[in-house]
Structure 1
Amino acid sequence: MPVPPSPKERIILAAEALFAEHGLDGASLRQISAAAGSANNTAVQYHFGTKEQLIKAIFEYRLPYLHERRDLLAAQHRPDDLRSWVECYVLPILEQGEQEGSHYLGFVANLHSHGSREVFAQFAPSYLASSKAFQERFRSFLEHVPEPLRTHRISQAIAFAVHAAADRERARAQGQEVLPFAAHVADLLDGLTGFLTAPVSPAALAASKDVGVGAMGWLLVP
């Protein structure tokens, strides 16, 4: 018999769903408490303190599995080309969107759109190191793409994967017809690999001249 979720877990799942549907500013802590089935309007504050800490708790709830799955794929397949590395990084994200009751990708996409960079600075160093290691491998296959365009491409590819997964997650939740998962994954990987490896045009080189990597902002950590 499955163990029922704890009050804290119910709040995390309710917050994830409401943030995915309404955005970070569209759901109040009181609404989250009610959606979690709590009669106490201050349940979120009691368990988490602030909205920022609740957002961090959602990541702490989801990230361990995602990173373990990513490392397992890399260990199993020992990828030695860009597409395979992208698959090991992206597949766990896409799989998460297939989980019943998950709204994680919609939540991450809204957080990205919101521009809440500061929450990522609170992650455990192991999470940041794992994502950075994968992204450094991406870089090693893109030596023909000079900076800052290389960093920009990687950032945009990860963001696109997250938003594509979020769109599919929402469509499935609404009962809409979607591509079979295997076709969705293969086609997305083809598109991301093509985008990352595309030749750099003279126009892009000229437009990015004298632009520092720091101007690229921040890489999404899903």
Structure 2
Amino acid sequence: MLLKNGVIILNAATEKTRTRILLTAEKLFAEHGIDRVSMRQINLAAGQKNSSATQYHFGTKVGLIEALFDYRMEPINQRRLEMLAELNKADTGHTLCDLVEALVHPLADQLRTHSGGYYYIPIVAQVTGHPDYHEIAQHRSRHSSGLQQLLILLRKNLADIPDAIILQRFGMALRQVFNELSDYQRLHGRLHGRDNLPATADSGMALFISSLVDAVSAQFCAPVSSATLQELDRQSKKSA
């Protein structure tokens, strides 16, 4: 293990061990639930002879989940940035559905991967609603630049909707996408018993993803009711 410019550089053997433990934990968390899997179980399933290997590499379960988020969020964020860059290049501008696709597709792609990302989606669905771990995803700011850019574009597209409502709907949309994809993953996992969706499911999945984009788009642009506007006004006066 070396330190270069303040960044820890792992040797090949250490990196291989760390990744093996990480992917083993990811699979166990997805299949059994975060609370039902111990660090010891992860260590054994990863084939580690050293009984403290998992603790050595990640410290605690929180550290392990944080490392897993970093491992998966980096390529997801990069894919989202690429999609947004393509939209910005287009002379015709972009629609709300275009923006929502940039939210949904990088996550949906994880269900098709052969590298185990298939298990990541249900873990995020667990974490976002967990009292002990829900802040982990929110604090991985170095991998959220794509979401930040997306939110800026959504605000421009939804200029008639109050910013506070857009922020609420953005959080709702993320949770909806994770939960819907997680449900889809579990259904096909049980039916097909494999680590990625089968080729025969591609057409059905394409329809599901397209419908999910439609549903999330409708949620973003739904008219704001008078009751919501009145409550928003009350909240604004309280905080003034």
TM-score relative to the length of structure 2: 0.78
Residue 204 of structure 1 pairs with residue 228 of structure 2: yes
Q: Does structure 1 conserve the Cα–Cα contact (< 8 Å) formed by 2:155 and 2:163? A: no
Pick aligned residue for 2:187 from 168, 171, 175: 171
- C-alpha displacement at 1:205, in angstroms? 1.8
Structure 2 match to 1:32? 42
Q: CA RMSD in A?
A: 2.5
What is the rounded CA distance, in whole Å, between the counterparts of 2:147 and 2:163 in structure 1?
19
For residues 32-91 of structure 1, the C-alpha deviation after alignment (integer angstroms, 9 at most, x for no partner) is 112222233322112111111111110121112111111222223436221101101210
Q: Distance in 2 between matches of 1:146 and 1:82?
A: 16
Aligned with residue 112 of structure 1, among 128, 141, 155: 128
1:121 Cα deviation after fit: 5.9
Paired residue type of 2:96: L
The equivalent of 2:73 in structure 1 is 63
Q: Are 2:101 and 1:87 equivalent residues in the alignment?
A: yes
Alignment partners' CA distance in 1, 2:138 and 2:155? 22
Q: What residue ranges of structure 2 are gaps of 5+ in the alignment? A: 1-12, 193-199
Which of the residues 206, 210, 221 maps onto 1:186?
210
Q: How many pairs were matched up?
A: 210
Q: Which amino acid aligns with 2:204?
A: P
CA distance in 2, matches of 1:170, 1:35: 21
Which has the bigger relative contact order, CA under 8 A and spacing at least 6?
Answer: 1
Distance in 1 separating the partners of 2:36 and 2:134: 18
Q: Which residue of 1 aligns with 2:4?
A: none
Deviation of the 1:26 alpha carbon = 1.7
Shift of 1:122: 4.9
Which letter does structure 1 place at the counterpart of 2:215?
G
Q: Residue 221 of structure 2 aligns to which amino acid in structure 1? A: T
Identity across matched positions, percent: 31
C-alpha distance 50-164 of structure 1, shift in aligned 2 (>3 A): same
Q: Is the 8 A contact 2:100 2:217 kept in 1?
A: yes
How far is 1:30 from its partner?
Answer: 0.4
1:148 to partner: Cα distance: 2.5
- Partners of 1:197 and 1:118 in 2: how far apart? 27
**TM-score normalized by structure 1?**
0.84
Give the aligned partner of residue 83 of structure 2: 73
Q: For 2:160 and 2:21, how far apart are their aligned partners in 1?
A: 47
Q: Do the aligned partners of 1:138 and 1:154 also contact (CA within 8 Å) in 2?
A: no
Is structure 2 residue 143 aligned with structure 1 residue 143? no
Q: Which moved more, 1:112-121 or 1:61-70?
A: 112-121
Tell me, yes or no, if structure 1 residue 97 matches structure 2 residue 121.
Answer: no
Give the unaligned 5+ runs of structure 1: 216-222
